[in-house]
Amino acid sequence: MTGAALPADRRLTLVDLLDRLLAGGVVLTGDLTLRIADVDLVRIDLNALISSVDASVVPSPWEEQHP
Amino acid sequence: MKDMPQRYVYAYAVTRDCAAVAGALETVTGVAAEPVGGVRHLGLMALAGRVPAAEYDEGALSERLEDLPWLEGVARAHQRVVDAVTAAGPCVLPLRLATVFHDEAGVRAMLEDRGQQLRSALDRLDGRTEWGVKVYAPEPTAAPRPPAPRATTSGRDYLRRRAAERHAHQEGERRAGEAARGIHTTLAALAEETRLYPPQNPALSRHPGRNVLNAAYLVPWDSAPHFTSAVTGLAEHAPGDGLRVELTGPWAPYSFVTPDTP
Q: Using one digit for the tens of pLDDT, what is the confidence trace for B185-195?
A: 999 999 999 99
CATH of the domain at B251: 3.30.70
* Total structural domains within chain B: 2
Q: Look at B99 and A21 and tell me if their CB atoms are within 8 Å.
A: no
* Residue among A22, A28, A46 minimizing CB distance to B114: A28
Whether residue B252 sits in one domain with residue B135: yes
CB-CB neighbors (< 8 A) of A53 in chain B = 68-69
Is residue A36 situated within a structural domain?
yes
Q: What percent of chain A has pLDDT over 70?
A: 25
* pLDDT score of B201 more than 90: no
What ipTM score was computed for the predicted complex, to two decimals? 0.81
- pTM here is 0.81
Whether residue B208 sits in one domain with residue B97: no
* Residue among A25, A35, A52 minimizing CB distance to B66: A52
On whether the CB atoms of residues B64 and B16 are closer than 8 A, the answer is no
Is residue A9 situated within a structural domain?
no
On whether the CB atoms of residues B206 and A14 are closer than 8 A, the answer is no
Q: Look at A1 and B118 and tell me if their CB atoms are within 8 Å.
A: no
Using the Cβ of A42 and the Cβ atoms of chain B, whether some distance falls under 8 Å is answered with no
Residue A20 is part of which domain span?
14-58
Residue B136 is part of which domain span?
128-256
Last residue of a domain, one of B92, B125, B158: B125
Average pLDDT over residues B134-146: 70
Is residue A27 situated within a structural domain?
yes
Whether residue B245 sits in one domain with residue B155: yes
Burial B162-189 (b: 16+ CB within 10 A, else e): eeeeeeeeeeeeeebeebbeebbeebee
* pLDDT score of B133 more than 80: yes
